[in-house]
Amino acid sequence: MTVDRNAMALTAELAALIERTEPDPGPEPGSRDFTDEEFEAMACDFVASRPDGPTWLFAYGSLIWNPEIDTLAYRPARALGWHRSFCLKLTRWRGTRERPALMLALDRGGSCKGLVYQLPDADPVAEMVALLKREIDASPPTNVPRWITVDAGGTPMKALAFVADPSGPAYAGRLPLEEVAHITARAAGHWGAAATYLQRTVEQLEKHGFRDRNLWVLQAAVAREIHAMHPATKDT
């Protein structure tokens, strides 16, 4: 049988085998949700510090396939000095306290391709509040906003991105791929399975012509883990 090496091993159907209904446990003990006033204060600070010209947002994960924000335009770009890494420990959303998940973030070193979205300028504080609420789930945060340098077709620019803070309570560090695959093939929360997040992210990266080597290897490893747990799927 001929194997298509460009076909994803982790399909939507395979990831769906991990989906299950889990209650939302809420923030971890010792953390809490941000208030609306705190989100607005953070948003005002970042709007005040934004570079001149259009505001750009670098998307590297679910912001590509589910941005949930208004945008004016987008273009391919490469984040300089940052790479994708499943380095955030999640005990809600796509994991539980009993079976945590790992979430994608930008971690220091290397580079990665993604999209930059141009954000509307009509109400920048409201746009920033929406982004903060989408990306930051608890105080103290580990996924934090900052301005990074990206290369968009040879043009360097500053873009807002959400990156991992190594001093944050949810930072898991750089784990072996096999461990990340084992966790991702089993974790699910009230937002769905971690495998579904990975499958959708890699699928959308491929559609835009971005082959992230680490994520490509990871999706194949997660598929093998799921096949091992569900032997009847191996020949489908």
- pLDDT tens-place string over residues 111-159: 999 999 999 999 999 999 999 999 998 899 999 999 999 999 999 999 9
The total number of structural domains that make up the chain: 1
Residue 45 resides in a domain: yes
Residue 5 resides in a domain: no
Provide the residue range defining the domain that includes 198: 12-230
What's the pTM value of the predicted model, to 2 decimals?
0.93
Residue 7 resides in a domain: no
Residue 63 resides in a domain: yes
Q: What is the pLDDT of residues 40-94, one digit of tens each?
A: 999 999 999 999 999 999 999 999 999 888 999 999 999 999 999 999 999 999 9
Average the pLDDT over 159-186 and give the result. 97
Residue 235 resides in a domain: no
Is 206 a residue of the active site?
Answer: no
Token pair 């220091």 in the structure block, residue:
108
> What pLDDT score was predicted for residue 210?
96
Active-site entry in 28, 40, 135, 206 = 135
Measured CA to CA, the distance from residue 70 to residue 117 in angstroms comes to: 9
> What pLDDT score was predicted for residue 232?
81
Residue 99 resides in a domain: yes
Residue 30 resides in a domain: yes
Q: Are 103 and 135 in contact (CB under 8 A)?
A: no
Residue 1 resides in a domain: no
Mean pLDDT over all residues of the chain?
A: 94
Q: Are 83 and 89 in contact (CB under 8 A)?
A: no
CATH number, domain containing residue 138: 3.10.490.10
> What pLDDT score was predicted for residue 21?
86
Q: Are 187 and 94 in contact (CB under 8 A)?
A: yes
